[in-house]
Chains A and B, each alone.
Chain A
Amino acid sequence: DAGVTQSPTHLIKTRGQQVTLRCSPKSGHDTVSWYQQALGQGPQFIFQYYEEEERQRGNFPDRFSGHQFPNYSSELNVNALLLGDSALYLCASSPGLAYNEQFFGPGTRLTVL
């Protein structure tokens, strides 16, 4: 049983560009959350998707947007990249909104130059 998978593993972009990160949840999971983890910090909640809708959102600007597909996979899009967007982006899945335990993927390391 594959766990949460994310692609790509690493990505290098320049300021002002746009990026799309992808996540496939663990089998049987329908809820996906995205987190940003800067170096030396804990993960910060970006938003959560369930039934193809954004259900909750953290304190992130509109440059951060997402999508969930009918097969429960998800994308995170970041527009107009800033140097400060450099971070590890983590995807987590769970079998429903009310489920406390989340299963995290290995993350995508984004570097903005």
Chain B
Amino acid sequence: LAKTTQPISMDSYEGQEVNITCSHNNIATNDYITWYQQFPSQGPRFIIQGYKTKVTNEVASLFIPADRKSSTLSLPRVSLSDTAVYYCLVPNSGGYQKVTFGTGTKLQVIP
């Protein structure tokens, strides 16, 4: 069973860059790493997905080292609206959508 480990919580001031690291020691060779964001009383929202090296989109970057045993979600210049729980996911055996979310990282952005 694929397992991820993330910090339980992080605090950051507005305007700073935030990096959240996730370890996934037993990731399979062909597995993608996916990050979701969840606000209270809402469903999770897809942020970014990657396989290796670096992926960037309009909201975040994802850095994956060569050994792929960890990945880092980078949020540039966070604002108060980025306060949420962030989940790192890797697939379980049986398919990409049978995923384990874990407890996630609760990011608190401070004014």
Footprint of B on A, CB under 8 Å? 4, 31, 33, 35, 40-45, 48, 55-56, 58, 88, 90-92, 94, 97-107, 109
Contact = CB atoms under 8 A, between A and B. Distances in A.
B60 interface: no
Given A56-B97, A99-B96, A107-B41, A42 B46 contact: no
A106 B97 contact: no
Interface string B28-45: 000010100000011111
10 contacts: A4-B43, A40-B103, A42-B85, A45-B92, A45-B97, A88-B41, A98-B96, A100-B49, A101-B46, A106-B42
B43 A105 contact: yes
Given A90-B43, A101-B46, A106-B43, A33 B97 contact: yes
B31 to A, nearest CB: 10
Interface of B: 32, 34, 41-46, 49, 85, 87, 92, 94-104
A31 B96 CA distance: 12
Given A4-B43, A102-B46, A104-B44, A42 B101 contact: yes
Nearest to A103: B46
Contact of A48 (B43, B44, B97, B103): B97
B43 A42 contact: no
Nearest to A43: B101
Which 6 residue pairs of A and B lie closest in terms of their CB atoms, listed nearest first?
A104-B43, A42-B101, A56-B98, A101-B46, A43-B101, A100-B96
B103 A42 contact: yes
A101 B97 CA distance: 8
A107 B32 CA distance: 26
**Residue among B34, B44, B96 with most chain A CB within 10 A:** B44
